[in-house]
Structures are given as C-alpha cells and as structure tokens.
C-alpha cells in the first residue's frame, strides 16, 4: 500500500480523537470539523516519511490550527458574544445524571481565556499532554507554556467554583422554580432563586448582571406567547427546553452556587435551535 494511502487510513482512525480535541479548544462542533479538515490538508501536503509518530504530530498540529482560529476570532472584536455549543438530552427517569464530558460552564470559562491560555489548558489539563508537546504546539518555551497553563488553570477553577454545588435533584428543583416563575412572568419569584450577583448570558448579546436585572429580562424574554418548559439535561446538568407549539424557541442552562442560581445561559439562535431533535427527546 502506498505511504499516502496508509497515512490516510491512519488519519481516519484518529479522526474522532482530533475532533474531540478540537471541540473544547473551539467550543463549536462546526468549527471543530473545520479544524479537522485543515489538519488533514496540512498532513496531505507533507511527505509521510517526515512523520515518525502520527498521533503526536496530529495532536500538535490540531493545537496549532485551533490557536490560529481562536486568534482570528479574537481579532474581530465587533462580533457579538456567542454561547458555546449546547448539548440537549432527555433527562433520565430517575433524575438528572449530570457529568457531560465538556460542560457548558467549562466551555464558557474557556471562552474567557486568551487563545494561547485556552490551548495550553486544554492540551495539558484535559488531554494530559506533556508540557513539551504543548510548547511545540504553541511555539513557545516550556517555561512560558507552564506559566500560561497556570494562569488558565486559576481562572478556570474560579469559574468552576461558581458551579460546583448542589445535587442533581436540588439543581432540578431550582431550575423548575425558575421556569415556573418565568412562565408566570413573575420577576419577584425569579429573583428569589437567583444569587444577588447572578448573570444572564444570552447568545449574541452582552451579559446582564444583577438578580433584579436578570429576573426582569428573563420574565420579558421567556413568558411571551404561552411557552412550554420541558426539563432536559443541558451539557449534562439540569436545564430546560422552551417550545412554542412543539418548536424549540430557547434552551436554558444554569450554574448553581450556595443553593441559588448564579448564572443563566439562554440560547435563542433559531438556526442552532432548529438542530435540536425534539422527537428524540420526547420518544
């Protein structure tokens, strides 16, 4: 078998790993697929004999490609903030199970990092790459790479600390109380389940901060038109799917701290909502 054919076969075998690596690096499955295609294009342009360890080479190049895409994204400051991908699943009959591999809170925390910090953290902490490999991907010294990873680690830990409390059942009760209050258009009842410093992150819009402000915005946004709220898992934790006449109009994800909701993630993008298979959720 010619070397290029053998290399192509090995690439296809490793494609799921490349995609799994690119997703948390970029926060978007569509962009992750773009990265996979670019990695293949770069591999196809070189002599197979130049690659001693294909898996290691692909990992480093995936990190480099994603760094380039992230840097291009941050170079366009006029773009509105965009929520990372949400994964909506039916809730098990016994209650919320939790534990999606890449949770929404983590993806949002990663979005707050500088591109090099994000790549350093994901490659080293999530995928357990040696620091020297990460340094190669970033084209930085090992010392600089360690510093970047430490900076990113501290910021991610701070973000995740805001969403580390409550059993799935307790979180479900909070979510249900929020949805009931939103359905009633009752800002006071919404405020009661929110932290004083709660935040509302709406896809494509600047965040809203403060319990009263979040409650008022949520009441106006969610109660119009007689919506239906269905309990689902959003990236592995209790959330809600909002529908009108069986058609998805919003997805709600939540972070919880000190028995109150600390952050609400609201997805309203019609194109992304249209990709949700409602029949699979309800079957």
Predicted pLDDT at 98: 44
Mean pLDDT of all residues in 3-30? 89
Say if residue 185 is in the same domain as residue 147: no
DSSP tag of 276: S
Domain that holds residue 33: 3-76+104-161
Question: What pLDDT is attached to residue 134?
Answer: 95
Q: Is residue 245 part of a domain?
A: yes
Residues 155 and 184 in one domain: no
State the Cα–Cα distance between residues 129 and 1, nearest whole angstrom. 31
Strand partners, 234: 88, 237
Average pLDDT over residues 100-118: 81
Residue 154: the pLDDT is: 92
CATH number for the domain harbouring residue 46: 1.20.140.160
The Cα 259–Cα 267 span in angstroms is: 23
Q: Is 92 among the domain residues?
A: no
Residues 6 or more apart from 136 whose CB is under 8 A from it? 60
Q: Does 282 have pLDDT greater than 90?
A: no
The per-residue pLDDT for 81 is 62
Predicted local confidence at residue 99, as pLDDT: 44
Percent pLDDT > 90 in the chain is: 53
The domain boundary residue, chosen from 161, 178, 202: 161
Domain match, 242 and 137 both = no
- Does position 80 have pLDDT exceeding 60, yes or no? no
- Final residue of a structural domain among 114, 132, 161: 161
Asked if residue 207 is part of any domain, the answer here is yes
Residues 200 and 119 in one domain: no
Whether residue 90 lies inside any domain: the answer is no
- Regarding whether 131 and 247 lie in a shared domain, the answer is no
Do residues 185 and 130 both lie within one domain?
Answer: no
**Mean pLDDT confidence for 165-194:** 90
pLDDT of residue 15: 95
- pTM to 2 decimal places: 0.72
Same domain, 182 and 228: yes
Alpha helices, H only, the chain: 3-26, 29-44, 54-74, 104-111, 115-121, 131-138, 142-161, 168-184, 187-192, 211-222, 270-274, 278-282
pLDDT attached to residue 164: 60
The pLDDT of residue 9 is above 50: yes
Do residue 31 and residue 153 come from a single domain? yes
Residue that is last in its domain, among 127, 161, 195: 161
Instruction: Name the more confident of 121 and 78.
Output: 121
Dihedral sign, CA of 223, 229, 231, 236?
negative
Are residues 253 and 209 both part of a single domain? yes
Is 22 found in the same domain as 146?
A: yes
To the nearest whole percent, how much of the chain has pLDDT over 70? Answer: 90
Instruction: Map residue 112 onto helix, strand or coil.
Output: coil
Average pLDDT of the segment spanning 154-175: 80
Would residue 96 count as lying in a domain?
A: no
Structural domain count, the chain? 2
Say if residue 172 is in the same domain as residue 114: no
Spell out the residues 6+ positions from residue 31 whose beta carbon is closer than 8 angstroms to its own: 22, 69
pLDDT of residue 100 exceeding 50, the answer is no
């Amino acid at each position: 078998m010619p070397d290029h054919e053998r290399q192509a076969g090995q690439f296809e075998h490793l494609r799921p790993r490349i995609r799994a690596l690119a997703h948390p690096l970029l926060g978007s499955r569509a962009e992750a697929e773009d990265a996979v295609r670019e990695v293949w294009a770069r591999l196809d342009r070189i002599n197979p004999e130049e690659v001693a360890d294909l898996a290691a080479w692909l990992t480093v190049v995936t990190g480099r490609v994603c760094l380039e895409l992230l840097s291009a994204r941050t170079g366009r400051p006029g773009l509105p903030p965009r929520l990372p991908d949400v994964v909506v699943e039916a809730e098990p009959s016994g209650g919320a199970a939790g534990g999606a591999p890449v949770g929404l809170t983590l993806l949002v925390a990663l979005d707050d990092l500088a591109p090099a910090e994000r790549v350093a953290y994901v490659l080293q902490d999530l995928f357990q790459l040696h620091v020297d490999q990460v340094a190669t991907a970033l084209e930085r010294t090992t010392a600089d790479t360690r510093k970047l990873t430490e900076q990113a680690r501290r910021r991610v830990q701070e973000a995740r600390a805001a969403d580390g409390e409550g059993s799935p059942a307790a979180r479900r009760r909070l979510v249900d109380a929020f949805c009931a209050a939103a359905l009633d258009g009752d800002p006071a009842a919404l405020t009661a389940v929110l932290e004083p410093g709660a935040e509302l992150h709406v896809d494509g819009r600047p965040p809203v901060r403060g319990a009263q402000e979040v409650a008022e915005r949520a009441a106006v946004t969610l109660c119009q038109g007689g919506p239906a709220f269905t309990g689902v898992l959003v990236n592995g934790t209790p959330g809600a799917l909002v529908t009108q006449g069986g058609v998805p109009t919003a997805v709600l994800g939540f972070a919880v701290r000190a028995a109150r909701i600390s952050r609400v993630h609201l997805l309203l993008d019609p194109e992304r909502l249209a990709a949700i298979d409602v029949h699979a959720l309800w079957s």
